[in-house]
A and B are shown apart, each in its own frame.
Chain A
């Protein structure tokens, strides 16, 4: 039995927003794999829940006419990985979603929950950052749009007012077309473990496949929230893969700010930033057919 005060099963997005607006203390629950654990731990005991778990209108992945990939928030990790659209256009995101927890967890945990919990270790977050994901937020006053990176406020905190819901994650065509990506999760165990560090890269080459046309680099657990390394990206534009491989680790270190936790020390995380950024670039570049000389 969970220590829950009440649970309201919303019938639609509008209904959920209404229910939330009517109860200043209500908490949104989707797959529940964060919220229910917090209730068990006593951090959210006695919560009033508004459940969007059953809402079909919030599930699925689709492709808009202009090529925008629309991922609805209640899509589970396993459905993200299994989506033909994700597999075809942004396989690195499908791979990242497949690194969370274990198989049973991936059938309940959702990509929207992974974004809204605001935690730096969220496995899909860094890859979504490298795809310039945009979020559609729906609230009592209608819809607004926010870039994922602007959504993060601090550890476990996102810019979501009470009564608002994440209703779509959008990735525009220029942000994935021609790019290849890679996500590396470093954890103490191969499964059922939170990342010690996560590193995501998306890269696009020029016509000759020798020079980097655009590079995007992001980390989880290298700062209080998932972060992009814009300065490193700017420096590495126009470089060959081998040039970039020599520099990416030290450039990335200038922008991250990892801390010591019981899982790993700051120094170890810095070593991971240096090492994994190179590995992820190498792998992404290999997929992109980049010539590494």
Chain B
């Protein structure tokens, strides 16, 4: 076992880990952040996507020991303490971008990175930016609609 310190969802945490575990293992099994899903565990599906220092990565192919000293963000960290949804989550709801929901947390985290860049994107650029995610249900259109909408809205706010 090894003790690591990281900042998870804005809170400092100290956690004892097995050096063989992935960050997805640690977040799910030790910190109970079960929004982090495991679909393939080989970096193909994006279900385990979290932000590390602002960058979206597949936490299934990221060793937990590497996360020491880093800032990790999961879906649990973007929901307001009173349970109110983040505008990105709300857009996914409004645009019916969720069916079974397994791919959703990962896609939301990629959307957080996209929206956080403060840039505007074409629909094709959004398609490319979410290409590291597989969704077996929705056919992607509503997911792109949702992200497009938040990007638009954020851009309006930023450029005001």
A residues with a Cβ closer than 8 A to B are 1-4, 6-7, 9, 32-33, 36-37, 40, 51, 53-54, 78, 101-105, 107-108, 190-192
Contact = CB atoms under 8 A, between A and B. Distances in A.
B9 to A, nearest CB: 19
Interface string B120-134: 000000001111110
A165 to B, nearest CB: 18
23 contacts: A2-B22, A4-B20, A9-B65, A36-B61, A36-B63, A37-B43, A37-B61, A40-B41, A40-B42, A53-B66, A78-B55, A103-B113, A103-B129, A104-B132, A105-B58, A107-B52, A108-B58, A108-B61, A190-B128, A190-B131, A191-B128, A192-B44, A192-B131
Interface of B: 18-22, 25, 41-44, 46, 49, 52, 55-58, 61-63, 65-66, 110, 113, 128-133
Contacts of B22: 1-2, 36
A3 B63 contact: no
A190 B21 CA distance: 31
Q: Which of A51, A53, A107 has the most CB of B within 10 A?
A: A107
Q: Which of A40, A51, A102 has the most CB of B within 10 A?
A: A102
A53 B64 CA distance: 12
B61 A33 contact: yes
Given A7-B20, A32-B62, A105-B132, 14 more contacts: A1-B18, A1-B20, A7-B19, A32-B61, A33-B61, A53-B63, A102-B131, A102-B133, A104-B56, A108-B58, A108-B61, A108-B62, A190-B128, A192-B131
A104 B63 contact: no
A3 B20 contact: yes
Given A101-B43, A191-B131, A192-B132, A107 B56 contact: yes
Contact of B57 (A9, A51, A104): A104
B19 to A, nearest CB: 5
Contact of B132 (A4, A9, A37, A102): A102
Nearest to A190: B131
Nearest to B50: A104
Contacts of A6: 19
A37 B42 CA distance: 6
Nearest to B130: A103
Contact of A103 (B42, B63, B66, B132): B132
Nearest to B62: A108
B98 to A, nearest CB: 20
Contacts of B110: 103-104
A1 B61 contact: no
A132 to B, nearest CB: 31
A7 B63 CA distance: 10
A37 B19 CA distance: 17
Contacts of B133: 102
B2 to A, nearest CB: 9
Contacts of A32: 61-63
B20 A2 contact: yes
A6 B65 CA distance: 12
Nearest to B114: A103
A190 to B, nearest CB: 7
A102 B61 contact: no
Given A40-B41, A104-B46, A191 B132 contact: yes
A54 B69 CA distance: 11
A9 B68 CA distance: 11
Nearest to A78: B55
A105 B63 contact: no
A125 B139 CA distance: 34
Contacts of A102: 46, 131-133
